[in-house]
Chains A and B, each alone.
Chain A
Amino acid sequence: MKIKERTSPQGIILDLEGDLTYANQAVFKAAVEKAKQAGCRHLIVNMEQVRFVDSAGLGLLVLVSQSFKRLQAQVSMLKPQSYVREIMSLANIPKMIPIYENENDALVARAA
């Protein structure tokens, strides 16, 4: 999995490309940790290029969400693909990690 980081005044966006799975968890964890170290208050995970999330990937997302919540920061998700969206929905993930269809909405939501 490839991860690209983009910074904006309202938060840090991680553009993920590939599968969010047990095999790739180290890469994702490292990217999240880097964002935390940078003092990120709003982490936006762009899932547009993520084809598949396994159980480990799901747990990781929730773990990240819980850790950001403890810091009074937030995690949002951007444009998950339909299969990933279905998995997220069945696991009630949107209640913990809001899902947005465009970047601007995500950034503005946090700012508000």
Chain B
Amino acid sequence: MKSNAMQSIGQDAGSSAQTEPPAATILLIEDERVTRTSMAARLTRLGYRVLEAENGLVGLDVARRERPDLLIVDWMMPEMDGPTFCEAVRRDPLLKSSQTLLMTAHDKPAQIAEGLARGADDFLSKSASKQEIVARVLAGLRTSRLVRKLETTGSQLESSMRLLQTKQAEMEADLQSAADFVQSILPAQGSPVQGISLAWEYQPALTLGGDLFGVASIDAEHLGLYILDASGHGVAAALRSASLMTFLRVEHMLQLIGSYDPEKVLFEANRRFPLSDEGEYFTLWVGQLHLPTRSLSYASAGHHGVLHSPAEKPSRWLTHPSSPLGFDPAAVFPGGRMTLQPTDRLFLMSDGIYEASSPTGEPWGRWRFQQAIETQKRSPLASTISHCFTEARRWQEQCDFFDDAAVVGLELTI
């Protein structure tokens, strides 16, 4: 048995090959030397590079080595016949998409069906005219080119996909790291000072959010608190919020204005944080609690999510119309003042929680939020906040919020 493939390179032979690139390689597998030589010569004259093999086993070796554009294989051969060769090609990961023409002296429908079922792509009669040979070879090569292009594109896509997935994983890890950092700078739950309980729940719409809040001692007798909400959400809003949070630090305010007077804090913040060129802004509520007298002074720049919830009386919103930061450079932010009683609760929230919409588009609303608070007056502070989130999720019929959702609760325990 011959083990070497024979090769002949064609000259530019005729008009029939004019639509096919001359460099296409065809592997011809035929045990009868005369038939093989004759067919090879024909194909060579048509301008193809022709490789020859005298049986299926040799043909497989040559195919794996040379990766021809088209395989033409005889049906009847010793050791490995044509259909068996086709099956072997389909099983081979390297060759399985190869275009295969099965040569046969007969064209009985049953034979054709068997050949196709066993892996042939087309048939070529041994007595086919030159025109038919050209047409089937051209068709086979056309399909072969398409398949190879698809395979290459598929490979490139897989490679790009793997790269994208890697990059995405890196980005998500970075975002999560940033989100963890933000969580770490939020006030610790529990008791920031004697006599005050603090609990909160915060769910950003994306990994990072634009809502932030703070509770910190100003001095031995005063507690400062604020909640800010940057328009939009995501990384951009989070970065802007971090900037305002830094501005609102007690040490900074004491240095800038000498106090944490809410009206003055907002006045300065309004100067420092104008409306951006993209229409981005903040809403901000600032409060200062004098602990010995339980006197709360507060002011708001467009932030309406603050609810005072006494233990034995109905809750009420500490809300009046006010411009968000940056809307009006000349804005003044009139303050409010009230005295809290022991067991009173104060809830600061971002609009993401009460603007949660039902599937029909109706917002949960501040009224329903208020009802959720009212029904939980006897429950622990953290449970009350958790209940609000549960109810909001139930309303919108999903777990994630479209906008950042934050609820901060303070309770005077003495």
Interface residues of A (CB under 8 A from B): 22, 25, 51-52, 54-56, 58-60, 62-63, 66, 83, 89-93, 95-96
Contact = CB atoms under 8 A, between A and B. Distances in A.
A92 B304 contact: no
Contacts of B324: 58, 91
Contacts of A56: 231-232, 279-280
How large, as a class, is the contact surface on chain B? 20 to 34
14 contacts: A51-B361, A52-B357, A55-B351, A55-B403, A56-B232, A56-B280, A59-B231, A59-B275, A63-B277, A89-B321, A90-B304, A90-B321, A91-B302, A93-B327
B281 interface: yes
Contact of A91 (B279, B280, B323, B357): B323
Given A66-B275, A83-B363, A91-B324, A55 B319 contact: no
A25 B279 CA distance: 10
B30 interface: no
Nearest to B274: A66
Contacts of A83: 363
A96 B329 CA distance: 12
Contact of B279 (A52, A62, A90): A62
B341 interface: no
Contacts of B279: 25, 56, 59-60, 62-63
Nearest to A64: B279
Contacts of A90: 302, 304, 319, 321-322
Contact of B323 (A25, A54, A63, A92): A92
B275 A91 contact: no
B170 interface: no
B304 A55 contact: no
Contacts of A91: 302, 321-324, 327
Contacts of A66: 275
A68 to B, nearest CB: 14
A58 B283 CA distance: 12
B323 to A, nearest CB: 4
Contacts of B278: 59, 63
Contacts of A58: 231, 324
B328 interface: yes
Most buried by B among A55, A56, A60, A90: A55
A93 B302 CA distance: 10
Contacts of B322: 90-92
Nearest to A25: B279
B302 A59 contact: no
Nearest to A92: B323
B363 A96 contact: no
A85 B393 CA distance: 26
Nearest to A88: B321
A46 to B, nearest CB: 20
Contacts of B229: 55
Contact of A92 (B321, B351, B355, B361): B321
A55 to B, nearest CB: 4
The 4 closest A-B pairs by CB, nearest first: A59-B279, A55-B231, A63-B279, A92-B323
A62 B275 contact: yes
Nearest to B327: A62
Given A25-B279, A55-B231, A55-B232, 9 more contacts: A22-B232, A52-B363, A54-B403, A56-B279, A58-B324, A90-B319, A91-B323, A91-B324, A92-B322
Contacts of B363: 52, 83
A44 B52 CA distance: 81
Contacts of A89: 321
A50 to B, nearest CB: 12
Contacts of A54: 355, 403
Interface string B261-284: 000000000000001011111010
Nearest to B331: A92
A18 to B, nearest CB: 11
A43 B313 CA distance: 47
Most buried by A among B232, B319, B322, B363: B232
Nearest to B230: A55
Interface in B157-198: none
Contacts of A22: 232
Interface string B318-340: 01011110011001000000000
Given A55-B351, A63-B279, A92 B327 contact: yes
Contacts of A52: 357, 361, 363
Interface in B32-57: none
A112 to B, nearest CB: 24
Interface in B123-138: none
